[in-house]
Structure 1
Amino acid sequence: MVPLDHGTFRAWLDEYATAWETGDADAAAALFAPDATYHETPFTEPLAGRDAIRAYWTETTAAQEATDVRATVESINRATGIARFRARFVRDATTVDLDGVLSARFVAGDCVEFREWWHAKG
């Protein structure tokens, strides 16, 4: 297994941010392995597979406008990258600010497990 490096994780985060900012659910889903799990919060059942991830992103980003996403690599440990992210968007004429942390585990270059913890203001 090739360890995850900073540049690879940084590039993945950039693609993740671009997919979110543009509302491109196909691009978002393509960032994950076909059988990936996606834990949007610690209290909900994880999404399973690209189709579920695509459907989530389609629904979630549909009501978001003027989206700006920033992510900072915090740590990398073998196959897992940890990042802090901040997002700002307008939903229903209200500006929403998110601040969160994500964990992404990779196998053979694909994200196989994604977890995020976030809070929203607005």
Structure 2
Amino acid sequence: MTDIDTWMRGYLKAWRGEEPKDVEALFAEDAVYLTSPSADPISGRDSIVEWWLAEDEPSNPEFEWWPVIVTETMAVVQGRTEYPGSTTYLNLWVIAFDAAGRATSFTEWWMEEKEDS
């Protein structure tokens, strides 16, 4: 079964630290990353690492997540990303894994959380 807790800890470490080796550890060599279901795919681990490190995000985001479905080869994760003083996003990720626990595909759906009036 996919160890989603370990993978997500690695994801958060890579996201916060932005070390190439941490990003590489998450993805299979031939992985595909989609920033939205209709986005052009970022294909291959090297391209994913390059894109990841080039992204400029607001500092000190808060992130919480919980698994929706986890199988031996796939996970669906729901999350909430809050950028203090900025925007909060609701996330849904679909992640497929190889036998080594690396993502072979990662697709994210996201939407801005509206404030209550």
Instruction: Give the TM interval when normalised to the shorter protein.
Output: 0.7 to 0.9
Aligned residue in 1 for 2:50? 55
Match of 1:107 among 90, 98, 103: 98
Name the one with the larger strand percent: 1
Provide the residue aligned with 1:116 in structure 2: 108
How many angstroms does 1:25 deviate by? 4.7
1:63-78 superposed matches below 5 A: 63-78=57-72
Deviation at 1:88?
A: 1.8
Structure 2 residue identity aligned to 1:71:
W
Q: What TM-score, normalized by structure 1, do the two folds share?
A: 0.80
Comparing both structures, which one devotes a greater share of its residues to helix? 1
Distance 1:38 1:105 in 2: 11
Please give the root-mean-square deviation of Cα atoms over the aligned residues, in Å.
2.0
How far the C-alpha of 1:68 sits from its partner, in A, is: 1.9
Q: Identity over the aligned pairs, expressed in percent?
A: 23
Aligned CA distance change for structure 1 residues 18 and 96 (closer, same or farther; 3 Å):
farther
Match of residue 9, structure 2, among 8, 14, 22? 14
Structure 1 residues 24 and 98, CA gap change in structure 2 (3 angstroms): farther
1:96 maps to 87
Note the C-alpha offset of 1:54.
Answer: 1.1
Residue 76 of structure 2 aligns with which residue? 82
For 1:20 and 1:28, how far apart are their aligned partners in 2? 8
CA offsets 1:17-67 (integer angstroms, 9 cap, x no match): 22223344541232000110011111211110112111221122x342112
Contiguous gaps of at least 5 residues in structure 2: none
